């Protein structure tokens, strides 16, 4: 798994050095507002974003389809 960094130190997966130890990561656009705890992650709808300012993912780079 690649290195994942997180600055939310109140999360159970947070480790010193801003490391995330979660087994999977869920990233949605800010407009989606998160998912309910009962939802299956594989059933979530896509949540397009135009820039990383529209997400909480600082590594977001918009995919340009050819």
4: phi > 0 → left, psi -120 to 50 → alpha, else beta; which?
A: beta
- Could you report the per-residue pLDDT of 7-66, keeping only the tens digit for each? 888 888 889 998 989 888 877 776 666 555 556 656 767 777 787 777 777 666 677 766
pLDDT number for residue 48: 76
State residue 8's pLDDT score. Answer: 83
Contacts of 34 (CB under 8 A, 6+ apart): 28
pTM: 0.58
Average pLDDT of every residue of the chain: 76
Q: Cβ of 20: how many Cβ atoms within 10 Å?
A: 16
């Amino acid at each position: 798994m690649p290195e994942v960094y997180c600055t939310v130190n109140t999360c159970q997966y947070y480790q010193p050095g801003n490391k995330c130890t979660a087994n999977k990561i869920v990233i949605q656009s800010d407009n989606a507002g998160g998912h309910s705890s009962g939802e299956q992650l594989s059933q979530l709808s896509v949540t397009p974003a135009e820039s990383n300012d529209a997400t909480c993912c600082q590594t977001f780079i918009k995919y340009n389809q050819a």
